[in-house]
Chains A and B, each alone.
Chain A
Amino acid sequence: MDPDQQPFIKIQSLSKHFGSFTAVDSVDLEIYKGELFSLLGASGCGKTTLLRMLAGFETPSSGTIHIDGVDMTDVPPYERPVNMMFQSYALFPHMSVEQNVAYGLHRDGIDKQAIKTRVEDMLAMVELTDFRKRKPHQLSGGQKQRVALARSLVKQPKVLLLDEPLAALDKRLRENTQFELMKIQDQLGVTFIVVTHDQEEAMTLSTRIAMMDAGRFIQIGTPIEIYEFPESRLVANFIGNTNMFEGRVTENGVDHIVVQSKQPACEFFIDHGISIQEGTRVWVAIRPEKFRISKSAPESGQTNQMKGVIDDIGYLGKLSIYRVRIGDDKIIQITSPNLSRPKHGESLLDWSDEIYLSWDASSVVVLTK
C-alpha cells in the first residue's frame, strides 16, 4: 500500500445508540481505495450497525463519515455513491432478473439503450444471461446471490457493502463464490466492505480485517497480522483455534523473555523482541499447527516443551487433530500434517501414547490483555 495514499473512506468518532444500548462506540476507521475490507465479529458486536450507517439506513448518534472526501453523514441512502448487497439478497420478487438489475439505472434516468447494454454486460459477468427473464423465486441460492451482486454493482458504486455475502450458500458454493468475488473486486477496482461473522471468509477475502467487539474495534490488520500477531486473548480466540497458558514473566532479557506457567508447569522462552516487566501476568498463546509432536524427548532442553498423553485423535486425511492431555486437566489441541503414510493397519500415533510436544521460540504469542 502506498503510504501517502489518502483514505477513501474516513470514519471519525462514530457512535450509534439505541436507547441505552450502544451499538457502535466512538470508532475511527480509514479505508483505502480498492481495499477489500472485512468487519469481523460475533453477532451483536455492532458490525452490521456500522455497515448500515455507511449505507445511510441508520443515522449516527455522533461522529462523521466521509467517502471520497465528501461528508456523507446526513446524506440519505438514495443519494450515496454506495451500494449494498443484502444478506437476504432482497431481490424484488415481482420483477425479473433483468428488471432487478436495471432498477438502479432507471432511477438515475439513464437512457434505455445504455441501460440495456449495462444490464447485459453485468448479467454476462455473473453468467446469468440465460436467466434474465426469470423471477427470483425461480432461481437457486447461488443464482440469487449473483443477481444481488450484479444489481449492486451495475451502478458502479464507489463502495460496495456486503452483508454476510456467503452466509446463505452451502460450503462448496461458498468457496467458489469467495474467489469469484475477489476476482470481480480486482476487475472493477471497487472498494468492498464485507460484514461477516465467519473468520475463514474474512481471512480468504480480505486485504484487511477489523475485529469488532461491543461496538469497538479491538484490532485492525491484515489477515496474517490478525492470525499470527493477535493483540488480545479475544482476537486470538475468535480467529482460529488457539491454546492459551496463563503465567508470569520470570525473566526480561535484552532479546527474549521467559514466562513460567503453573498449569501445566512449563517454561516458555520467547525470542521475538518484546519486553515485559518481570512479574507481569501474561497469557501465552500457541496455535495448534505450531506444535511438533514426537514420541521421544526433543533435544532443546527444558524450555518450550511439554509431555502429554494423547486423549483423542481426529483423522482428517491431509492432517490429524490431536487432543493432548497435559498434567491432570489441561487439554490442548494440536494439528499435525500427515507427512508420511503409515503401514497398513497401523497408525503413527495412537490413543494413550505418551508424547512430547515442542515449538519454536518465535511461534509463541504473549498477550497481556
Chain B
Amino acid sequence: MHNTGQRSRFLITVTCFGLAFLYIPMALLVFYSFNYSKIVPVWGGFSTRWYTKLFESEEVWSAVILSFKIATVTACFATLMGTLAGLALVRFGQFKGRTLFTGMITAPLVMPEVITGLSLLLLFITLGDLIGWPERRGFTTITIAHITFSMAYVAIIIQSRLAGMAQDLEEAAQDLGAKPFRVLIDITVPLIAPGMVAGWLLSFTLSLDDLVIASFVTGPGAVTLPILIYSRVRLGLRPDINALATIFIIVVATAAFVAWWIMLRQQKKRELEMQMSSEEG
C-alpha cells in the first residue's frame, strides 16, 4: 500500500496521545511522591521522606492489612459462589425462571454502586434490629458486600468459559462411569480453572479498589485503604498519600506483569508442542 508510511505516522500519534492520556496522571503522582516539599505541587528537591513516614504510620499499616484481608476472603467466596451460579446458568438447561435468574445475576454489574451500598446498609441495619446480627459494621459487612457484587463478575466469566466448552466432555465422563460430582471435579473444574483464576484476581482487585460500597457498610474502626486515602485527600493533597499510591501502582503493575508472563509462557509451550506433533505427522 502506498500510504503505509502516512497511516503508521497517524497511528503512532494516536497511540502516543492515548498513552499520555492514560499515564501522565500516574507519572505525576509518582513524581510528586519523591518531592521533599510538604506542599504537593511545589517542587522542593528529591526525597524519600514520605515513604519513611508512611511505614512508620500505624494507621496506614492497619488499613493495608484490612484491605488485603477483605480482598482475599471476598475473592475466595466470590469465586466459589460465582462459579456455582455460572454453572447453573449454563448447565441446567431450561428451568423455570431462567431468564429472571440470569438477569438477577448480572444486575449488580449495571446497578450504580451508591444504590448497592445503600441497600446493603439498609439490610444490615434491619438485620441488626431483627436478629441482633451484625452487631456492629466492619470487616464482615464490607466482605459480604464485596462478595455480592464480585460474584456477578465471576458468574459472567465462568458462564462464557463454559459456553465455549462442549458439553460432550461431561457426557463422555458420565458415559465412562463418573457420577455427576466426579464429573464436576475431574472434568468441569479443570477446564474452567483459568476462568476461576481470572475471576479470583478480578474479585480481589474489585474489592481492593472499592470505595463507595465500603464507605456505606463500614463501621467505626474499620478503615480500608481506599477509605483512608480518600479521607486524607479530602483535607487537601498530601505527599505521603502520593507515596502510598505509588506503592499501590507498583504492586498492581507487578502482579499484572507476572500474570501476563505466565500466560505467555504457557502459550509458547503449547505452540511448541503443536509444532512438534505436526512435524512428526
**Chain A residues at the B interface, C-beta cutoff of 8 Å:** 55-57, 76-79, 82-84, 86, 88, 90-94, 103-104, 107-108, 134-135, 137-140, 151-152, 155
Contacts and interface: CB of A to CB of B under 8 A. Distances in A.
Given A76-B174, A88-B168, 18 more contacts: A57-B171, A77-B175, A78-B175, A78-B177, A88-B166, A90-B171, A92-B187, A103-B173, A107-B182, A108-B177, A135-B273, A137-B270, A137-B273, A138-B273, A138-B276, A138-B277, A139-B277, A151-B176
A140 B281 contact: yes
Contacts of A90: 166, 168-169, 171-172
Contacts of A108: 177
Contacts of A57: 171, 174-175
Contacts of A140: 277, 281
Contacts of B273: 135, 137-138
B277 A92 contact: no
Interface in B188-223: 190-191
A155 B186 CA distance: 18
Contacts of A137: 270, 273-274, 277
Given A88-B166, A92-B169, A94-B190, A77 B174 contact: yes
Contacts of B187: 92
Contacts of B168: 86, 88, 90
Contacts of B169: 90, 92-93
23 contacts: A57-B171, A77-B171, A77-B175, A78-B178, A86-B172, A90-B169, A91-B172, A92-B173, A92-B186, A92-B187, A93-B169, A103-B173, A103-B178, A104-B177, A107-B177, A107-B178, A135-B273, A137-B270, A138-B273, A138-B274, A151-B172, A152-B175, A155-B177
B179 interface: yes
Contacts of A139: 277
Contact of B172 (A56, A92, A94, A155): A92
A151 B173 CA distance: 11
Contacts of A88: 166, 168
Interface of B: 166, 168-169, 171-179, 182, 186-187, 190-191, 270, 273-274, 276-277, 281
Nearest 5 interchain pairs by C-beta: A104-B176, A107-B177, A90-B168, A138-B277, A90-B172
Nearest to B178: A107
B94 to A, nearest CB: 9
A94 to B, nearest CB: 5
Contacts, number: 74
A76 B187 CA distance: 18
**A55, A79, A90, A91 pick with most chain B CB within 10 angstroms:** A90
Nearest to B190: A94
Nearest to A57: B171
A275 to B, nearest CB: 49
Nearest to B182: A107
Contacts of B176: 78, 83, 103-104, 107, 151-152, 155
Contacts of A107: 176-178, 182
A140 B169 CA distance: 19
A34 to B, nearest CB: 21
A151 B166 CA distance: 18
A297 to B, nearest CB: 58
Given A90-B166, A138-B277, A78 B174 contact: yes
A130 to B, nearest CB: 9
Most buried by A among B166, B168, B175: B175
Contacts of B171: 55, 57, 77, 84, 86, 90
A218 B124 CA distance: 66
Contacts of B173: 92, 103
A102 B87 CA distance: 27
A144 to B, nearest CB: 11
A135 B276 CA distance: 12
B276 to A, nearest CB: 7
B97 to A, nearest CB: 17
B192 to A, nearest CB: 11
A94 B191 contact: yes
A251 B256 CA distance: 88
Contacts of A94: 190-191
Contacts of B166: 88, 90
A272 to B, nearest CB: 46
Nearest to B187: A92
Contacts of B178: 78, 103, 107
A134 B277 CA distance: 9
A76 B171 CA distance: 11
Contacts of A78: 174-179
A57 B190 CA distance: 22
Contacts of B182: 107
A92 B182 CA distance: 14
Greatest chain A CB density within 10 A among B171, B176, B186 is at: B176
A195 to B, nearest CB: 14
Nearest to A130: B280
Contact of A55 (B175, B179, B186): B175
Contacts of A93: 169, 191
A84 B172 contact: yes
B189 to A, nearest CB: 10
A74 to B, nearest CB: 15
A291 to B, nearest CB: 45
A113 B26 CA distance: 61
A93 B169 CA distance: 9
A143 to B, nearest CB: 9
Contacts of A138: 273-274, 276-277
A86 B174 CA distance: 13
B279 to A, nearest CB: 11
A138 B178 CA distance: 25
A44 to B, nearest CB: 19
B95 to A, nearest CB: 14
A82 B171 CA distance: 13
